[in-house]
Chains A and B, each alone.
Chain A
Amino acid sequence: MTAPAAHHYTSTGLDSRKIAIWAFIGSECMLFVSLISTYLIYKGRSLVGPFPHDVYTNPAGETFNPILNIPVTSASTFVLLMSSLAMVLALAAVQNKDLPKHTRGERVLGSSKLWLWMTALLGTTFLGFQAYEFTSFVHEGLSIRTNLFGSSFFTLTGFHGAHVTAGVIWLVTLLAIDYRRGLGPNDALNVDIAALYWHFVDVVWIVIFTVVYLLK
């Protein structure tokens, strides 16, 4: 978020921060693959329930329904996808800040504050869904200690949630800068790297949604 060192010579003509964020994203691929691999390795190996897709009756005769709530998670998946759309519009708004805007539609599209707010709110909504999901699971008898599914599920989705949280804090910081001095084309790179991070967190969720929630 510091002033770019654009006046220094670079061999590719690209900004160093954008190269670094892509290298970071490459690294994050391995991080999430380790988590997803472990989830899949332990899939179906839990000795006791609750299970993600199957009914479980314990020796005491208590019955646990399949624990995953597909309708709620589908909604939160949609919310996160839409936050990516808002993010990409926020970036475009910052990049095109200096272009003249005549119509009301152009002004709406050109408002970086609106789209940053939108992204942050949709991200927070996603986190709200996740908080609801976690607490309801605990009420239904699944905690991080219950079984292999609980350990790997909460750790995987919790890591993703932590990434979303960091992203929301990042977005709020950008918003604060926007309110203090306005974000213009010179800041586009700062918004761009935040956006790359945000979209990456979104694509990770795309994988998690399929692998954890939909595949039985």
Chain B
Amino acid sequence: MAENPHSDPSATEPKADEHIAQHHHPDWKTYVKVGAVLTAITIWEVWAYYIPSVVASRIFVPMLLTLSAVKFATVVMFYMHLKYDHRLFRVLFTGPLLIAALTLISLLFLFGQLVARFGR
């Protein structure tokens, strides 16, 4: 649940150092590097889409989902500063994201778009 991790009373006390720490964001070089990584992953994804042997292989779907998750996490951590900001924001984002992801997965199971194979 979203509020659980910060129910520790000390976590939300005013902390001058954390307040200041917010402004210690990385400089533009990091941002450009992150942009280059994002571009590279996108090229990788599109490349995979056009290689029939990759599309046909069993790693195609897991690979694309992983790459997408990496891009997602990179933007959230660096461009949205979640890596550097107050941990309250991390809780406010990851809590709902977790519930959203679980809902998505449950719905896909319920509608038979995902099938769990037990045993062999």
User: What residues make up the interface of A, taking CB atoms closer than 8 Å to B?
Assistant: 10-14, 18-19, 22-23, 25-27, 29-30, 32-33, 36-37, 40-41, 43, 70, 74, 77-78, 81-82, 84-85, 87-89, 92, 95, 109, 195-196, 199-200, 202-203, 206-207, 209-211, 214-216
Contacts and interface: CB of A to CB of B under 8 A. Distances in A.
Contacts of A30: 96, 99-100, 103
Contacts of B2: 26
A198 to B, nearest CB: 9
B79 A37 contact: no
B65 to A, nearest CB: 7
Interface in B71-115: 71-72, 75-76, 78-80, 86, 88-89, 92-93, 95-97, 99-101, 103-104, 107-108, 111, 113
B31 A88 contact: yes
A216 B79 CA distance: 30
A89 B86 CA distance: 21
B72 to A, nearest CB: 5
Residue among A88, A202, A203 with max Cβ neighbours from chain B (10 Å):
A88
Contact of A14 (B34, B86, B101): B86
Interface of B: 2, 12-16, 18-19, 23, 25, 27-28, 31-32, 34-35, 38-39, 42, 45-46, 48-50, 55, 61, 64-65, 67-68, 71-72, 75-76, 78-80, 86, 88-89, 92-93, 95-97, 99-101, 103-104, 107-108, 111, 113
Contact of B88 (A19, A40, A215): A19
A81 B42 contact: yes
A72 B110 CA distance: 34
Given A12-B14, A200-B80, A37 B19 contact: no
Q: Is the interface of B mostly helix, strand, loop or mixed?
A: helix
B19 A13 contact: yes
Nearest to B30: A88
Given A30-B103, A43-B113, A84-B38, 14 more contacts: A22-B89, A26-B96, A29-B93, A29-B100, A33-B100, A41-B108, A78-B39, A82-B35, A84-B79, A89-B31, A199-B75, A202-B75, A203-B71, A206-B75
A172 to B, nearest CB: 20
Contacts of B19: 13-14
B76 A203 contact: yes
B49 A70 contact: yes
A182 B20 CA distance: 24
